Amino acid sequence: MLGTLVNAGAIVLGGAVGLLLKKGLPKKMADTLMIGLGLCTLYIGISGCLAGENTLVLIVSMVIGTIIGEAVDLDDKINRLGQFLERKFSRKTESEETGVVIPVQKVSLAEGFVTSSLLFCVGAMAIVGSLQSGLTGNHETLFAKSMLDFVAAIIFASTLGAGVMLSASLLFVYQGSITLLAQFIEPFLTDPVIAEMNCVGNVIIIGLAMNMLGISKFKVMNFVPAIFLPILLCSLFW
């Protein structure tokens, strides 16, 4: 679990640095930076989805995964979690003149959590690195990923806020589960399966990028179950 612990810690540390930068960031610059991040995210999604080799796996995974996600409504649950945490952790001050309680912080934790969680968890490095950690104790891939995520966390936290740091918890559960179960799931996570999972995940990242650019308002988290369906589809039919 060392690799996953370091990775989660890097995100928390990078997020903390990003929050410090956020305080001195003018709104106009923050808005422009968000567009730039959206374009970079779009590039990541487009380049990553080309890893897939079977379009039918992508289509079936997205259809079934979206049905599952909509039935459970993951997006709504994540947003409710963000709103709950926002109410708990938002600092409040009381006006000396009116005695009215005024929220000081109004940042959507859910938006930062969803955006950064998908970017940090989707991709071959998260899967392969976790398998290596669990099977051989080699953490080099996750250490390299930690450096990349550290820089990304700084950038995203400077615009999306504290929700980026919260994503470290999901990454810990996701990568930690793969690491602990590596000897059991490794036979199913063949190179073709990982490639198809990477393809599906990056198609979802394209949707995420469109949200960041203000083009759409997709409920991105409702697509997430599709990422895991290539494991089943490739095992049964391909």
| Statement: residue 104 has pLDDT above 70 | no
**Ranges 35-44, 103-112, 207-216: which has the least confidence:** 103-112
Look up residue 66 and give its amino acid. Answer: T
pLDDT interval class at 5 (50, 70, 90): very high
The two tokens of residue 116 are 């950064």
Where is pLDDT greater, at 111 or 105?
111
What is d(CA 66, CA 74) in angstroms, rounded to the nearest whole number? 10
Least confident of 47-56, 80-89, 202-211: 80-89
Q: What's the total number of domains in the chain?
A: 1
pLDDT, one tens digit per residue, over 205-234 is 899 889 888 898 888 889 989 989 999 998
Confidence of residue 48 (pLDDT cuts 50, 70, 90): confident
| pLDDT for residue 12 is more than 90 | yes
For 83, the enclosing helix (H) or strand (E) is: helix 74-89
Q: What is the pLDDT of residue 148?
A: 87
What is the number of other CB atoms lying within 10 angstroms of the CB of residue 117? 24
Q: 133 is in which domain, residue-wise?
A: 2-237
The average pLDDT across 140-164 equals: 89
What pLDDT sits at residue 238?
64
Question: If you write DSSP's letter for every residue of 121-183 in order, what string do you get?
Answer: HSSHHHHHHHHHHHHH---HHHHHHHHHHHHHHHHHHHHHTTHHHHHHHHHHHHHHHHHHTHH
pLDDT of res. 103: 43
From start to end of 1-56, where are the E strands? none
CA 112 from centre of chain: 9
- 101 pLDDT band, cuts 50/70/90, is very low
What are 159-177's pLDDT values in tens digits?
888 889 989 998 999 999 9
End-to-end CA distance of the chain: 32
What does the DSSP 8-state code read for residue 102? E
Q: In this structure, are residues 200 and 227 in contact, taking their beta carbons and an 8 Å threshold?
A: yes
Tell me the pLDDT band of 8, cut-offs 50, 70 and 90.
very high
Mean pLDDT to the nearest integer, 36-55: 86
Q: Give the pLDDT of residue 89.
A: 61
Residues 126, 122: Cα–Cα separation, whole Å: 7
Q: Exposed (0-12), middle (13-18) or buried (19+): which is 137, by Cβ within 10 Å?
A: exposed
CB 219 within 8 A of CB 75: yes
Residue type, 103: P
| Bridge partner residues of 102 (DSSP) | 93
Q: Pick the more confident residue, 92 or 14.
A: 14
Tokens coding 106: 């109004």
